[in-house]
Structure 1
Amino acid sequence: MEDIVDKALMRISSNATMSAIATVLTCVMRMRCRRKSVTYHHGEGKKQKIESRDAHICRVFSGYSHSCRDYIRMRPHAFENLVSIMRGSGLLRDSRDVKVEEQLLMFLNVLGHKTKNRIVRSHFIRSGETISRYFNKCLEAVGCIRGRFLKQAPMELAPEIASNHLYYPYFKDCIGMIDGTHIDAMLPASLVARFRGRKGVTQNVLAACTPNKLFSYVLAGWEGSANDYRVLQDALSRPQPHGLRVYDGKYYLCDAGYTTMPGFISPYRGVRYHLNEHRGRPINNRRELFNLRHSSLRSKIESTFGLLKNRFKILTAKPHYPFPTQVDIVLACAILHNYIAIVDLGDDLLNEDITIDDDDVEIATEGEDANLVDFSQNVTQREERDSRNEWKEKRDDIASAMWLDYCNKYRGGDTTEIGL
């Protein structure tokens, strides 16, 4: 009897063991099949993403005739040269998945069209973190080529002045024009009041450009509530090479928001100035003639600002970046503007005649002019006043020479003036 029971128990135990083994084997086989399926589908998905991304990049460069310029705001050969500079200097490197070309494509599209992160994600099928990371890397890399493409104005006579009888020899010592522009800014609530000015919450950007519409100096990050002269003082007080460089005997042309002082000549106040104010009206005296030609030459910086904002639409929209990044974006756009103007003279956007509204320029009165403090800290108030008067006399000499030549050429030598 006991033998029968033992045999039955052994049979039951054997069957249970076999069932357990069969169950384990079945589970293992199912897991292996599932793993193969997941791996297969993951590989297929990654392949599809790569193909879609490559197709998008191909459309940028090989689509319609201006697809590249419209997408990244520069032509293909300028882009290829920029890639070569970044890769050759080690400022940008190919990662395992993202090449330098793709990094710059994403970056330039954001600058040129104020494209949101989520839109770039759909174009390149990348994560938002990847887009943001490479945007910041490219922004830093462009800032590193500032010394190469954004140089201070040279002391030499500009060809654009030398070849124009309206400017030469009167402005032969002019090395550039300065002006300020406002760029929309986004800041924490605690800082908004400081940056709120006539044009809303903005940063006030001071820039100098040469007569060929290249930026020679850019100072960004000032509060929109700060007046232009205060920003200029800061630029002049900074040590080189970070400060605005002023050469002995040379000068910049500036509008009435500044003052005539060593290195800077503003127009006559109380005299019509802007080009549209002179249209259809005769020139009655030397001051009107000086202001007309001063405005004509200084308008080049307004045109340069217009070109900059027309190419890089990110400068015309409310930014959604930390404020230090907003400042860096302004500088990067100015550097890229110069880069394109240097390497691609035939760029269509550079040849457009665009200006920005300058109707609400800040006007300083003569009383305020007398109280302004020069950027040099080693002179007395009297020496400062004398130096400003000396430069006002220089402006008068230029105006007199202009008027004499103008009268000899167009008025038969009649130098009679009206309205002085």
Structure 2
Amino acid sequence: MYCYLRNLRSRSVPRIKDNNSILPGYAYTSELLNGSNTQCQDMMRLSRVAYIELCNLFKERGWVQGSRYSTVEEKIAMFLHVISHNDRFIKIKNRFQHSTQAAHKYFHEVLNGMMEFAKEIIVPTSNSNISRRQRELLKKFPGAIGALDGTLVHAIIPADQQARYRGRGRDKYYLCDAAYTNTRGYLTPYRNTRYWLTDFRRQRALSKEEKFNHAHAKLRNVIERAYGVLKARFSILKQMAPYSFSTQRDIVIACIAVHNFIRKKKLEDELFDRCDQASLSVSDGE
């Protein structure tokens, strides 16, 4: 028995290579660049044209550099996989056949580049690019900064630091429904008065309270649809990974920057197409 056990211990176990995918990272990236639009949309949540234009812009501005181990296109593809599917670096390692340390390094390299990108793409929209209906809504609610119920972005903050992030300053407020109390920072509609957009399809708003509620509901609908597209594109915003708070903040900025880039460039995008179609349906029903 002793000899048998000793022989078992002495047998060498063959080492299996970690990164043994059929397609190495550079080949997979090439497939994304030259393959179908559907594959890009499924894997990175943007069209192939948008991906190529984004990579070209980053190379042109020098925000991300290629290296002997990874191209700009591959680094950006890894980054988009993370924010689109909330993938962990171990999964990126297996897909692109780089070490976990390299995946981490490239992610933060692209994230830093995204902060420079954001300075150009996240800017106030001129009035000429806003519809008349939206301009009217913004005049009625100049202090609105968002809407509650499903539109906020998830973040992980230590309990002893959470108080400092509550509140958004004077004269700023969230739009919310009648389930909330109408207090500082929260603007609710009039109670016991028509509110939902479907309530006004058969008869227009008559009283000042109904007119206020109708405008409140329309702006809240616009905000919720905008956040809905953003969070549908980038799953990481629904359940943020436990990065440092500064990294979480930068990830949100990066997601909005890519989102704005697609919209401002008027690039083909199935998520925006669905949103625009829904917007037309709401407008037709008013």
1:55: which partner in 2? 27
Write the distance in 1 (CA, Å) between the matches of 2:24 and 2:138: 56
Structure 2: runs of 5+ lacking an equivalent: 1-16, 277-286
Contact 1:315 1:330 in 2 (8 A): yes
For the aligned residue pairs, the C-alpha RMSD in angstroms reads 3.6
2:71 maps to which of 78, 81, 99: 99
TM-score by structure 2 length?
0.73
Q: Is this contact kept in 2: 1:259–1:265, CA < 8 A?
A: yes
1:308 corresponds, among 227, 230, 233, to 230
2:257 maps to: 335
CA distance in 1, matches of 2:161, 2:194: 33
Distance 1:157 1:312 in 2: 28
Partner of 1:413: none
* 1:195 equivalenced with 2:162 (yes/no): yes
Residues 1:142 and 2:63 are matched in the alignment:
no
Match of 1:178 among 133, 137, 145: 145
Take 1:58 and 1:98, find their aligned partners in 2: how far apart are those partners? Answer: 12
Alignment of 1:296 onto 2:218: yes
Question: Which residue of 172, 181, 190 corresponds with 1:269?
Answer: 190
Distance 1:290 1:88, change over 3 A: same
- Decide which of 312, 316, 320 is 2:242's aligned counterpart: 320
Change (3 A) 1:232 1:74: farther
- CA-CA distance at 1:278 after TM superposition: 5.0
| 1:230-289 deviation per Cα after TM superposition (whole angstroms, max 9, x unaligned) | 2144xx8xxxxxxxxxxxxxxx9962589899xx99665334434356566774523203
Counterpart of 1:384 in structure 2 is none
Paired positions, count = 250
Identity of aligned residues (%): 25
Q: Which runs of 5+ in 1 are unaligned?
A: 1-44, 197-221, 237-251, 355-420
CA apart distance, 1:147: 2.3
Distance 1:325 1:258, change over 3 A: farther
| Residues 273, 292 of structure 1: 8 Å contact kept | yes
Whole-angstrom CA distance in 2 between matches of 1:112 and 1:319: 12
- Per the alignment, do residues 175 and 83 of structure 1 end up closer, same or farther by CA in structure 2, a change over 3 Å counting? farther
Kept after mapping to 2: 8 A contact 1:267/1:290: no
SS in 2 for 1:92: coil
Cα pair distance change 1:351/1:175, threshold 3 Å? farther
2:131 to 132, 150, 160: 160
2:13 is aligned to none
1:120 is matched with which residue? 92
Please report how far the alpha carbon of residue 65 of structure 1 lies from its aligned counterpart in structure 2 after TM superposition: 4.3
Counterpart of 2:175 in structure 1 is 255
Kindly state the Cα deviation for residue 351 of structure 1 after the two structures are TM-superposed. Answer: 2.0
Q: For 1:145, what is the secondary structure of its paired residue?
A: helix
For residue 268 of structure 2, what is the amino acid of its counterpart? G
Distance 1:70 1:278, change over 3 A: same
Bigger share in strand: 1
> Contact between 2:137 and 2:215, CA under 8 Å: does it hold in 1?
no
| Cα distance in 2 for residues equivalent to 1:326 and 1:159 | 30
CA distance in 2, matches of 1:320, 1:193: 16
From the superposition, tell whether residues 329 and 172 of structure 1 become closer, same or farther in structure 2 (CA, over 3 Å).
Answer: closer
Contact 2:83 2:235 in 1 (8 A): yes
Residue in 2 aligned with 1:376? none
| Structure-1 separation of matches of 2:264 and 2:146 | 22
Report what 1:80 is aligned to.
52
SS in 1 for 2:152: strand
Q: Counterpart of 2:243 in 1: which secondary structure?
A: coil
Report if aligned partners of 2:145, 2:174 keep a CA contact under 8 Å in 1: yes
- Secondary structure at 2:268's aligned position in 1? coil
SS at match of 1:178: strand
Question: Which amino acid letter does the alignment assign opposite residue 178 of structure 1?
Answer: I
The residue type equivalent to 2:102 in the other structure is T
CA distance in 2, matches of 1:145, 1:125: 27
Give the Cα–Cα distance (whole angstroms) in 1 for the partners of residues 201 and 252 of structure 2. 34
Indicate the larger mover: 82-91 or 306-315: 82-91
What is the CA deviation profile of residues 208-249 of structure 1, one whole-angstrom value per residue up to 9, with x for unaligned ones? xxxxxxxxxxxxxx64xx2xxx2144xx8xxxxxxxxxxxxx
TM-score by length of 1: 0.51
Q: 1:186 to 1:172 in 2, by over 3 A?
A: closer
Contact 1:255 1:267 in 2 (8 A): yes
